[in-house]
Structure 1
């Protein structure tokens, strides 16, 4: 397997493309918008420059990585000749189902179709294809070039052969793959999102402020980043979408998203991507927001 297509040039998609390309794979990076592709390549270049500055790679390595990536606005053109497709579109179930329907008709029947979804059922995604045995989850962590973990999610019909191949492929990317079964939130987000949601409730109920909550978790629990800062980093809209999947999937009120989270997303305060969430963000650096009163009234 040497030819890979990545669907989506956003934060996760460009990181996945970067990682495959750096390890010698030929990558087709596909997005409907040329501007998104240009931005994705600019991000990859910036991240490679950072690796060069740290002497983790050479200028020749950087050039080879960029040469391995070709961009496409046409999915039909982008998936020609590939052996693996990794979908990294927005965490929206209807969008993903539509993409997989298209991929099923545009790719050869032996091509493996993977999703980078962080919560949506692989079995549900596979159900819209004629190859459910070849559909699997590859949940990379952000930032993809740095983070070691890949959750490998088996759908109900995913074969051992496909699972083993994707596990081995992940190892070739210098990642640590962990196989999990297909239930809402898998492992990472089933544990992480309720913690983030509870931190938001703690803020909403006026128990403590943003910085205090994050400091307790960093210094008391040895977390490298507090849950509210991490929520901003992930994207509050993404956190909300995952919690809604958990709430719907399990039917348990403990997964119900905090009203404060719902209101912030509705108001367009989504974290780093919009410049404001629990913190204000200036080109990736954070400043604590003082003005808003997060506590419920």
Structure 2
């Protein structure tokens, strides 16, 4: 099938980034969230991201305006009815995703595809909650979406070969490089990344070194571009905790237990950059 109209559910960090790269590639994008305020924040984030690219001379002003013109923000799910592809990018909570997917599924034409940006939840289980499990796939983007070239594609047990090839081609059209991972908690990248970050939290909790020293050690000793604790702040500590909880429940292996300090910081509302405080303080 040919994809020309794209819906994105969730105007937060991941959703607005996904909307931006799709619009920049020439797709008509409908961005949906629960409130006008959330939509305005999402569109403002896209405009700010594009303006930074203009200032760095990586994008022309005309291209910026064209990209913004390709995005329509709305609070009405019914506005997704004509989409060929809808990408769900809501918070990493299965109950919320299932509710959204059920609502979206009933609006779309039979040939339309639904993708989820989940970073850890079973694609097979989410697909089974829709009436189109063969046209359902995981499409896991990385933050910040406009700058990170990777997207993980995760077929569920029911995903058709046609759906997979269509989404692989779509990923190329929006300037991404795709890898295909089997449906398993965390897929490929987060299966490796999140336990590493969680172990860094354990190291901090046990007083092995300060947050700054842990991050500096991994950057200088392992050539990481950003330290694991600073990366946790960028990802969001609540998201990291949710992923580790999925691992712990899915594998029934104590090596995936979330660090108690991580859970306590989430309880305190210290979620990283988005809350102004995590392992570091911001702005």
TM-score by length of 1: 0.94
Aligned residues: 281
Match of 1:222 in 2: 223
4+ long deviations beyond 2 Å = none
Matched, 1:161 2:162: yes
Partner of 2:49: 47
Structure 1, residues 86-117: CA drift from partner, whole Å, max 9, x if none?
00000000000111111111111111000001
Tell me the equivalent position of 2:134: 133
1:146 maps to 2:147: yes
Q: Could you tell me which residue of structure 2 aligns to residue 28 of structure 1? A: 30
| 1:152 CA drift (Å) | 0.4
Query: What's the secondary structure of 1:139's corresponding residue?
Result: strand
Once the two structures are superposed, what CA deviation does each residue of 1:36-55 show, in whole Å capped at 9, x if it has no partner? Answer: 10011111111111111111
User: What are the superposed Cα offsets for residues 25-75 of structure 1, whole Å, 9 maximum, x if unpaired?
Assistant: 000000111001001111111111111111111111011101101111010
C-alpha distance in structure 2 between counterparts of 1:29 and 1:103, whole Å: 13
Partner residue, 2:10? 8
For the residues of structure 2 that align with 1:262 and 1:32, how far apart are their CA atoms? 27
Alpha-carbon offset, residue 137 of structure 1 = 0.6
Q: Which residue of 2 aligns with 1:63?
A: 65
User: Partners of 1:230 and 1:57 in 2: how far apart?
Assistant: 27
- What's 1:235 paired with? 236
Q: In 2, distance between residues paired with 1:64 and 1:118?
A: 30
Unaligned 5+ segments in structure 2 are: none
1:206 Cα offset (Å): 1.0
Match runs of 1:1-297 below 5 Å: 1-77=3-79, 79-282=80-283
1:35 aligns to what SS in structure 2?
A: helix
**Residue aligned with 2:230, SS:** helix
Distance in 2 (alpha carbons) for counterparts of 1:51 and 1:206? 40
Offset, 1:184: 0.4
Q: Secondary structure at the match of 1:146?
A: coil
